[in-house]
Structure 1
Amino acid sequence: MNYANFPLDKRMPLPSTEPEKGEDFIDVERLLGMAARQAKVVAVCAVIGLFLGVIYLQTTPKQYTSVASVLIDEGLNKVVDDISAVSATQQT
């Protein structure tokens, strides 16, 4: 289908599938045209990402707080005393 028949459509007709002689390099104007056509999509995605980032920053707490609990087993004191006694007798 040739898009040139649709005057309200901004699409360009597809180039021929056979490359012409000397035109096997990258066409910068064509790349810029593609980027310009997709600029709206990139801008909309950037605005949505920025909006979601602002919402995230507004809803998260300003300061990180943590809580820790330490459980000490009183039976470990006997093990430490036994090890200390053994090392003391070996040093003398």
Structure 2
Amino acid sequence: MEINVLLKIIGGVSSGVGSLLLAYRGYVILNWVKYILFAHEKNIDALMGTVYKVPNVYDGEIITGTVNQLLILEGKLGLKLLILGFVLFGAGMLMTALSYFVA
């Protein structure tokens, strides 16, 4: 197999895997934003119910520790997957571009 064809194949696979990793990380990050916004809204509702003596829309409990849980979860593998996705995506594009210059 010629080197330029091999570079195109490796570049395409690398770009594909990198973009899938980035899409997955984006999905997870957006889910966490949704969870934290819900917790924030629930906390505001509980505080407003306590201060103004109005009925709560939710159950009236205050959620604490969401940021700490996010940092614990994201510190394990999240940043590594995000960096790996960018590296694979960039390497794949460079290999594909390089394949046009290699004879």
- Same-fold call, TM cutoff 0.5: no
TM-score tier after normalising by the smaller chain length: 0.3 to 0.5
Larger of the two Rg values belongs to structure: 1
Between structures 1 and 2, the one with greater helix share: 2
Name the structure, 1 or 2, with higher relative contact order (CA <8 Å, separation 6+): 2
